[in-house]
Each structure stands twice: as structure tokens, then as C-alpha cells.
Structure 1
Amino acid sequence: MTLTESIVEKLTKRIDSGVLAPGSRLPSIRRAAEEFEVSKNTIVEAYDRMVAAGLISSRRGYGFTVADRYTQLASERSQHVAEAVDIASLLSAQLEQNYSIRVGDGRPPASWTEESELQRHLGRFKPPASSREDGYGSAMGYLGLRDRLAMNYMDRGVEVGTDGILLTFGANHALDLVIRRLLLPGDTVLVDDPGYYPLFAKLKLSQIRMVGVNRLSTGPDIDDLRQKAERERPKIFFTQSLAHNPTGGSMTLPTAHAVLTLAEQHGFTVVEDEPFLDLPTVNGPFLAQLDQLQNVIHIGTFSKTLSASLRCGYVAARPDVIASLAELKMLTSVNSSSYVERLVHGLLTDGHYYRHLKRLSQRIRRATDVVTQNLERIGLSTLSPPSGGYYVYLRFPPGVDDMQLARQAIGEGIFTAPGSLFCVDRKPNRSGMRVNVAWAESPRFYDFLNLEIQNVLSR
């Protein structure tokens, strides 16, 4: 690094850290030369480079001042904001109600969740009139629900107290808090590939560099994870252990142990997002259970089991991590909804939630059987055997473009979720489709698949 580059780097750090605020004056050329023990020409060159970079501005008779970077940052963000919105295009599409067949939807139909269970109980779990729960309350969330979640973790063999649980507005809010608190722009993280596309959008928005780890039927490809951990030196690995979205598979015990071993060896944190942990149809080890939340941050939600509109989720981690996330939550959203949290708590403690889960599991089993039979009929296989969640991941024969197939499906009134949207590089050479079994009963969907795939193969 030359003297000029060194000075530019030091001054840029002062600006980024806030030591030199927007509008503040930089030392004169003479004083800066004395401070850095260099010639005036070196300072002039350094200042000229910073002016060209938009970091500082020069005013005749007033010297050099730190530029107001609001306009510049807005233009810098425009590209990655657009990319993040593009990644989340599937989320935007699934909010539309224009499709009669919705196998690409990430949620179960309302008849499976709020219309079948919550409708009878909404309004029953209001705070007592004498309470002050109409205020903001603790940023940690409603204590009764945190205590109940701690008991649930204990039943699963995970030692955690209420100080290790933070309530959030669903899993996406929890992921956002983790990203904003633990990562900086330019940091590198590992993600499942294919994986959870809203997470990709959040990372892109925060200017975090993503590296995909191949997802197999048994979980992350351990050889691929090892190589990328050694080469990329990531801060975090974002993954799902059970009923993975979008592949539908669950992590095996040997794979889970290998993931935790690599995390310890290479010093990265594992963030485990588990929206299907409560489903009786889903079984297997999860990383928080094996790690006891020492190097794992565990995220859960009720959005996939109770209702997508019921924004209630949680983070479990070491108390020091939770305290840090709670601080950020307080600064950004003040608190989550105590009313919603009391409702969920009441559904849990009165047994309604577990009766609902039993009925939901029966529906999942029946729907999965229907999907399996139809796929066998048309000769399509899945990446992973169904593991009790909502999803299976169809594998298409070579030559089938999943994005083109999705466009053709729209013309038939069928909303699908092409596999390319779940890949970090979004390349169509990983041709496939996520299917939500809750929406996949219509024979017309399978007839469409069979016809279109046969047309491609016959060309």
C-alpha cells in the first residue's frame, strides 16, 4: 500500500465510523501533512482521490469537508435493492389470489389453519382489563409464551431459560434481526442451495456475500461445506434441518454432527430456521438439540402451522446473543405484539394447538399420499423422500427448463415454484419444482406436467 492509499484508508475509516461526521471539515493540507508525516503533495493526492470517490467535497475558501453521502448511498443501493426484490418475486406472486391451482405456494390453505381452528378461539385470550398490556411491554416478548417455549425446548432435550428466548414477528423478522446484528456489508455467509429464497433477498439487501452449499437428500453436502468453509471463511451458515424448504428432506444424524464439527473447526455460527419443528409428522435430530445452543441460533415460528397472518415467531440462543438481538429489536420495532403472543400462549396451554397439529398432520399424510401416487403415475421423482412437511421437490429430466415451464403454467392458471428461484445463482440447469402438497390434489396439474415434459423430451 502506498502512502497515499494508506491515508485514504485511514480517513475513510474515520468517516465510516462517524468520527468524521457529514459536513465536518478535514484538516488543512498543511496540518494533515504534519499529522501523517508526509509531504503536502501526498495529502493533495489523497484528498483528490477521496473527492473523486464522493467521500469528501472541496469548497473554495473553506477547504475539504465530509460529503453528505445520502444521495450517493441511495444510488449505490439501487442495484442490490432491485436484485433483492427480484429474488423475492415468488413471494409477491404467492400473495396474489389469481390462481386456481397454487402448488407453488409456500403456505397451506386457510382451511387447514386459521379457518379450521383459530376462528373458534380468536378473542378468547385478551389481557385482563386491569393489566397494562396495552403498552409496549418488554422487547423480549410476553413472558408467559417464552416460559412455555422454554418448556417445549426442555421436552426436546434442549437446556434453555426464558432469557435465551426472544419473541419476534415471525421467522423472517428473526432472520432480519440476526443479519442486521451479526453481519456487516461485505461479510460472507453460507446458505443451502437450493434454499429459502426470502433469506437470499434479505442478504442481498444487506449487501452480504452468499455462497451456496449443495443440498442433498441427507442435508448439506458435507464435502462441499468443508471446502467452502476452508476457502470462504464464512461468519454464518444458514440452514434448515427438518422438512427443508424447498427440498422437503431432513438432515440425518451423521450429517448434523458433521455440520457442527465443521462450524467449530472453522469458527462460523450456524443459524437454524425450523418452521416445521412442531409437526408430529416431522421427526429427526435438529442442530440446536445436538449443540445445546452454544454455537447454534435456533429460529422457530407459528406462521406455517397456525396462520401466515399470525405473525409470531421466536429466536433461541445463548442469553448474551438474545440480549443483543433484543436491543436491536427495541431500536427497530420497539416490541412484538403482546396480544398475538397471549393468543398463541392460550392456544398452547389450553391444548388447542396440539389438537390442531394432530388434525394438520393427518391432512399432510393424506395429501402426501395423493402427490406420491400422482408422481409415480407420470414417472417423476423427488430430490428427497417426503419427511412430513409441506414440500416435495420434483426433479425434471434433462432439457426441461423449469422457468419456461412455470411461464407456461401461468397461461393455464397454475401457479408454480420453479426450482431455479431457490438457487443462489438462479441458473436453470438445476431444473426442478417445489410442490406444496396442500395445494397439489388437482389431476389437471399432473396432466399439465406430464404433457409439457413429454413435449420437451420428444423434440
Structure 2
Amino acid sequence: MTKIEQVIHYVDQQLKSRRLTPGMRLPSVRSLAKQLNFSVSTVVNAYERMLSMGLIESRAGSGFFVCAPLEPLILSHIEPIQDQNLDPLKISRQLLEASSFLIKAGCGWLPDDWMPHEALRKAIRDTSKDSVFELMNYSSPLGLSSLRELLARRLHTKDINVTPEQILLTDSGSYSIDLICRFLLKPGDTVLLDDPCYFNFRALLKVHQVKVISVRYTPDGPDIEAFKQAIIEHHPRLYITNSGIHNPTGATLSQSKAHQLVSLIEHANMVVVEDDIFSDFETSASPRLSALDGLKNSIYIGSFSKTLSASLRCGYIVTKSEWIDYLIDLKVATSFSHNNFSAHVLYKILTHGGYRKHIEQLKIRLADAMIISIHRLEKIRIQPWIRPKAGIFLWCELPTDINIQKLMSYCTEKGVILALGNSFGEAHTFQNFLRFNIAQCMHPDFFNILEDAMQYASMNRPLNSL
């Protein structure tokens, strides 16, 4: 590639990543030449060639401007990821496309046989007997009123005191966050995320072309001093977090940090989006930011994909009354309605006595799985970052003599899918970490395969081992 072609390629990449969009002014010839360490004449010739290609135009006395049409939004062009094993979109697709025979120790949901199959079947049968209108028509803009009334009562137990009219049903927790981002963000805004955090938060924020700033997460919540500094330096619009049971660490927010966060968020005039989809796994209540600030600067979201069925697409947004109508308009504009059938099925399951029993059984199974997983992992030198009070995740650190790529390669060959720590954080901070799903780890072959993988990936292993 000639130097002129390199300049053209550089501008083309800026267009594809949408850092340059129609009407924007290009760097001056001299500034781009200095930036790329090329001669001025090289950049002049490159700009001349792009003029002839119709990519840019020259305006007398003003410089060069983009006139090419807006490039399609291709997420991999916005922020290219060198290691594809860390690409959140690739990870999600790999997990979603995985065969049922694979051991999904890195996924974020429960095994199929942990779910209440019969309760789901009964609810679907009962819903199918409802009126033709309920089966065939769109829902009301807010969603099924009886379900919203039930959700409002459930929220009261978390000290989030709302009316059913403050609850908007959606198709999922992810769509809820997307809708909120559409409502509150514009390209170039800043959003704070925990470091580490759920990897799909980053993928979703790419779509909205915002700046992401990571704040170190500790065993009882975000680092408060780092949070303060991020506010001072970057003036964020949003903070997105899990405050009930944190993903991927399994940590819970302390009362002290919750109060400090509410104060900081209020003074910064920003909004916190509180993703609480693991709420029903809790064995003891932890603070909710939405309860502490009365939804003044917070939005609460939830769903039941983790406790009932990932196919039961029904989430919800809880916010202050004055924002609900605007969110309804956005929902109608982007999806018109939501899965009304799922909402009816969900209501029937939640009002059937079997759901409470199912959750209690899940908590017992998860507590046992947590003990077993910690014991088996420590036995092969994998150390949990903390011992979570509840939930499905263990955030673990590998010993320094383990080659993570060899570990991944061995596990993949044996049909085990792991979740690499760096996919949850920034700048290779967590390159020796893995997130384990303790329920999926209960597969009878998993720990034996992992133990063999650890031996294979150890840089200290004998040459003739394995």
C-alpha cells in the first residue's frame, strides 16, 4: 500500500467508524500530515484522489468536508477488537449458537433442567384458553395491567414505592436499556460502567456511539474516589450497573456505598440505570439505589429470563411518572408493542404458588453449587475473588503460571465454553480472570476437564505430561 493509499485508508476507516460523518470538516492538510507523519504533498494528493472519488468536497477558504453518504452501522468498525475471543458480540453469538451438548460454564443463564418446565407448560396452556382478543392483538402501550400491578407490589418489598402507571413492560432487560439510552443519550455523551461489568453493556453502548468510562469495582461496590474523579473529568450522563447481585463478580452493594453513590449522582445531575435481573436469587436484601433516591435520578429495570425462561421475552422499566409517556412514545416508534403473550404467561406463573417454591429450591441448589464450585476450583488453584452471598456467578483469578490461551484452546476442544475476564473489563486488566456460572459447573464432566486443562496450560508442567 502506497503512502497515498494509506491516507485514503485512514480516512475511510474514520468514515466506517462514524468518527467522520457527512458534513464534517476533515483535518487540514498540514495537521493530518503531521498526525500520520507523512509529507504535506502526500496528503494533498490523497485528498485530490478522494475528491475525484466523490468522498469529500472542497469549500473555498474553509477546507475539506465529507460528502460521502453515512456508512452503515457496523459495530466492529467503531472500536475494532484485536482479540476476537474478547469481542462481546462474538461471545454472545457463540453462547447463543452453542449446541445443547456443550458445557456452557461461561454463560449467564441456568441449565434447562433447573427451570420449571411443567409450570411453564401449564401457564402456556392456560393463556391459550384466554379470549381471542388477548391472544391476537397488540398490548396496551404500558402493557398488561394485572402484571404491572403485581410488579408494583413486588417492588414495594424492595422499598421502591411506585404505582402500576410507573411501570412500562418491554421485551427484555436489554431492550429496556436500549430504550433508555435512546431517551437520554446522544452520540458523544459519556456513560460510566463498572470495571468489570456485564460485557453486553459495552456492546449496546457501541450502538449509541457514546464514550464509556470504566470505574473500578470493589467487593462492596464501585470505588467511590474513582467515581468522583470520573464525574469531575468526564461529566457523565448515565451510570449503568447491577446493584443487587453484580455481574460478573457476584458482589453486592453495601449500604454505605449506596448512600454515597446516590449523593454523587444527584449532585452531578446524572442518571443511574439499575439492572436488577438477578434479584430473585438474593437470600438477603441488599440496598437499591432506586429505593434510596425515590427514582429521582434512577431508573430500575428487571426481567425473569434468568429464573423462568430466556424465551419468555418480558422485561420492564420503572421510572418517575413524567418520563413514562416519553418512553412509551419511543417504544411505539421502535417496536410498536411488546410480546403480549409472554406477559400473560408470566403473570400466570407469578401468581401460581409454584413460582415461590421454584425460587426457594433454586436458592438451595445454588448455595450447594457455590460451595462445591469454590471447593473444586480452589483445589486446582483457581481462586475466587470473593465468596458471593448469592447468585450464579464466581469471579475467579488464575495462577500466574497458566497460559490462558492454551487453557481456552483445551477447553474448547473438549466442548467447554469459558468466559474470559478481559471481555468484562478494559485494557487487559482481567487477563488472568474467568467468570464461572456455578449452575452450569455442576455438569458431571466439567471439573475433571478443567483440571486437565489447568495441567495442560501450566507453564511449569513436565514436558511429557498429558
Q: When the two structures are superposed, what TM-score results if normalisation uses the length of structure 1?
A: 0.81
Structure 1 residue corresponding to 2:72, chosen from 74, 92, 102: 74
Q: Matched residue of 2:253: which SS?
A: coil
1:74 alignment partner AA: P
How far, CA to CA, are the matches of 2:221 and 2:118 in structure 1? 33
Q: Does 1:229 align with 2:242?
A: no
Structure 2 residue corresponding to 1:316, chosen from 285, 294, 318: 318
Q: When the two structures are superposed, what TM-score results if normalisation uses the length of structure 2?
A: 0.80
How far, CA to CA, are the matches of 1:185 and 1:88 in structure 2? 20
Pick which of 72-81 and 170-179 moved more: 72-81
Structure 1 residues 258-281: Cα deviation after superposition (integer angstroms, max 9, x where no partner): 111111122211111011112353
Tell me what 1:445 maps to.
446
* Distance of aligned partners of 1:254 and 1:271 in 2 relative to their CA distance in 1, 3 Å threshold: same
Structure 1 residues 84-109: Cα deviation after superposition (integer angstroms, max 9, x where no partner): 99321111111133353221111101
The CA deviation at 1:402 is 3.7
* Distance of aligned partners of 1:76 and 1:241 in 2 relative to their CA distance in 1, 3 Å threshold: closer
Please give the residue correspondences for 1:103-122 in structure 2 after superposition, counting only pairs within 5 Å: 103-115=105-117, 117-122=119-124
Q: Does 1:45 align with 2:61?
A: yes
The CA deviation at 1:337 is 1.6
Tell me what 1:93 maps to.
94
Q: Matched residue of 1:394: which SS?
A: strand
Please give the residue correspondences for 1:59-208 in structure 2 after superposition, counting only pairs within 5 Å: 71-74=69-72, 79-80=77-78, 86-98=87-99, 100-115=102-117, 117-126=119-128, 128-129=130-131, 131=133, 134-208=136-210
* Distance of aligned partners of 1:97 and 1:86 in 2 relative to their CA distance in 1, 3 Å threshold: closer
Tell me what 1:374 maps to.
376
Structure 1 residues 366-415: Cα deviation after superposition (integer angstroms, max 9, x where no partner): 21121122123223321221221111111112354545532331022211
Q: Matched residue of 1:212: which SS?
A: strand
Tell me what 1:25 maps to.
none
The CA deviation at 1:447 is 3.9
* Distance of aligned partners of 1:429 and 1:197 in 2 relative to their CA distance in 1, 3 Å threshold: closer
How far, CA to CA, are the matches of 1:178 and 1:333 in structure 2? 14
How far, CA to CA, are the matches of 2:372 and 2:445 in structure 1? 13
Please give the residue correspondences for 1:204-353 in structure 2 after superposition, counting only pairs within 5 Å: 204-281=206-283, 283-353=285-355
How far, CA to CA, are the matches of 1:223 and 1:403 in structure 2? 34
Tell me what 2:435 maps to.
434
Contact kept in structure 2, 1:401 and 1:428, CA below 8 Å: no
Structure 1 residues 163-216: Cα deviation after superposition (integer angstroms, max 9, x where no partner): 211111110110110111111111110001111111110111221111111111
How far, CA to CA, are the matches of 1:78 and 1:277 in structure 2? 32
How far, CA to CA, are the matches of 1:127 and 1:327 in structure 2? 31
* Distance of aligned partners of 1:378 and 1:186 in 2 relative to their CA distance in 1, 3 Å threshold: same
* Distance of aligned partners of 1:15 and 1:285 in 2 relative to their CA distance in 1, 3 Å threshold: same
Contact kept in structure 2, 1:167 and 1:336, CA below 8 Å: yes
* Distance of aligned partners of 1:210 and 1:400 in 2 relative to their CA distance in 1, 3 Å threshold: farther
2:103 alignment partner AA: I
1:53 alignment partner AA: V
How far, CA to CA, are the matches of 2:430 and 2:370 in structure 1? 27
* Distance of aligned partners of 1:134 and 1:227 in 2 relative to their CA distance in 1, 3 Å threshold: same
How far, CA to CA, are the matches of 1:282 and 1:125 in structure 2? 33
How far, CA to CA, are the matches of 2:73 and 2:203 in structure 1? 18
How far, CA to CA, are the matches of 2:383 and 2:22 in structure 1? 57
1:445 alignment partner AA: F
Q: Matched residue of 2:87: which SS?
A: helix
1:412 alignment partner AA: K
1:199 alignment partner AA: F
Q: Does 1:394 align with 2:410?
A: no
Please give the residue correspondences for 1:10-49 in structure 2 after superposition, counting only pairs within 5 Å: 44-46=60-62, 49=64
How far, CA to CA, are the matches of 2:404 and 2:249 in structure 1? 15
Number of aligned residue pairs:
404
Contact kept in structure 1, 2:290 and 2:299, CA below 8 Å: yes
Q: Show structure 1 runs of 5+ residues with no match.
A: 1-11, 17-41, 55-68
Pick which of 378-387 and 329-338 moved more: 378-387
Q: Matched residue of 1:190: which SS?
A: strand
